[in-house]
Structure 1
Amino acid sequence: MQSEASYICDSCGEEIVVPIDLSGGAEQSYVEDCPVCCRPHVIYVDIDEDGEARVWAERE
């Protein structure tokens, strides 16, 4: 099981680490500002049966 995952911000190119909430369900999405460039992104999280998360982001 993962407690963190990361994505690359498509605005500034920085790697951003985000916490994974396993209790939030297998498919999650939420809006979060990049902590480096402050641009909003929709964060998508898919959690498989083994608790491994795949995370990606798109500009809002």
Structure 2
Amino acid sequence: MQPFAEAAIQQCPYCGEEVEVDVDPIGASTERYIEDCPVCCRPWAVHVSREEYAVNVLLGREDD
């Protein structure tokens, strides 16, 4: 059985729209990847950190 993705509501650092970012609850303790905003199509730097009972997601500008 595959774990389900958790949704985190974040604000796009470019257009300011609230967006839903799906992340896997299981994986490396920290992770960084690039994903495009579904509203303005600009690239985010997605930072994910996983703790025992929590998954934290932060969005940054890819060009920073």
**TM-score (normalizing by structure 1):** 0.82
Greater fraction helix: 1
How many residue pairs get matched? 58
Q: Which runs of 5+ in 1 are unaligned?
A: none
Q: CA RMSD in A?
A: 1.4
Q: Which runs of 5+ in 2 are unaligned?
A: none
**TM-score (normalizing by structure 2):** 0.78
Task: Provide the residue aligned with 1:58 in structure 2.
Answer: 60
Q: Which structure 1 residue ranges, 4+ long, deviate > 3 Å from structure 2?
A: none
Q: Which has the higher contact order (CA 8 A, sep 6+)?
A: 1
Of the two, which has the highest radius of gyration? Answer: 2
Question: Which aligned pairs between 1:32-47 and structure 2 lie closer than 5 A?
Answer: 32-47=35-50
